[in-house]
């Protein structure tokens, strides 16, 4: 196909006609008089420019819609993040309350074992989980804890003493 080279003023007129529309061109003062399209090549170029304009407008609409969708999704994500942060704070608060309650109960348990006969208390503590036994011993006065350890089997007393002093890792 042979390429037709248009004079610059004609090309500018065609581009203006496509982007502004014929009604706007004639309504503007001082605008160029656009002559009716004469050749097939001029019509083909004009049609091509109109198609390109329509395609660009369609793409612009699609981009606007995607932008709105993205903004909506971003709002939704931000809302979910806020909800998760609230839940995380509530969870941390519940954990802190549980830890405080456990510490309080362990303190009360320590007082109970402290008031018991050291032989009986040593027999019971020997059967407990080492972590719980250490917590109980830590909550007792030193003299009472010493009496308890004195009344335990040597291996168990040594094991609890090591764990209590953090010599042996957990």
pLDDT tens for the chain, 170 residues long, are 455 565 665 666 666 666 665 555 454 454 445 566 678 888 888 899 999 999 999 999 999 999 999 999 999 999 999 999 999 999 999 999 999 999 999 999 999 999 999 999 999 999 999 999 999 999 999 999 999 999 999 999 999 988 888 744 44
- Alpha carbons 110 and 136: distance in angstroms, whole number: 5
User: For the chain, what are the domain ranges?
Assistant: 116-170
> So what's the pLDDT on residue 23?
52
> 130 and 159 in contact (C-beta within 8 Å)?
yes
Q: How many CB atoms lie within 10 A of CB 165?
A: 9
Measure Cα distances from 113 to 2, 30, 59, 148, 153 in Å: 106, 105, 79, 9, 17
> So what's the pLDDT on residue 6?
59
> So what's the pLDDT on residue 168?
47
- Report residue 102 as tokens: 């456990």
> So what's the pLDDT on residue 125?
92
Q: What angle do CA 3, 45, 12 make, to 5 degrees?
A: 100
SS3 category, 30 = coil
SS3 category, 148 = helix
- Alpha carbons 6 and 48: distance in angstroms, whole number: 15
């Amino acid at each position: 196909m042979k390429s037709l080279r248009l004079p610059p003023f004609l090309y500018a007129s065609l581009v203006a006609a496509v982007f502004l529309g014929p009604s706007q061109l004639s309504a503007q003062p001082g605008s160029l008089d656009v002559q009716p399209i004469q050749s097939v090549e001029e019509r083909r170029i004009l049609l091509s420019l109109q198609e390109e304009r329509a395609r660009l407008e369609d793409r612009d609409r699609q981009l606007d819609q995607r932008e709105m969708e993205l903004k909506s999704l971003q709002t939704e994500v931000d809302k979910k993040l806020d909800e998760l942060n609230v839940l995380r704070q509530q969870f941390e608060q519940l954990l802190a309350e549980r830890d405080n309650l456990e510490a309080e109960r362990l303190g009360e348990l320590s007082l109970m074992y402290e008031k018991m006969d050291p032989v009986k208390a040593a027999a019971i503590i020997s059967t407990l989980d080492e972590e719980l036994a250490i917590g109980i011993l830590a909550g007792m006065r030193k003299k009472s804890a010493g009496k308890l350890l004195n009344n335990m089997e040597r291996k168990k007393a040594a094991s609890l003493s090591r764990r209590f002093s953090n010599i042996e890792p957990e």
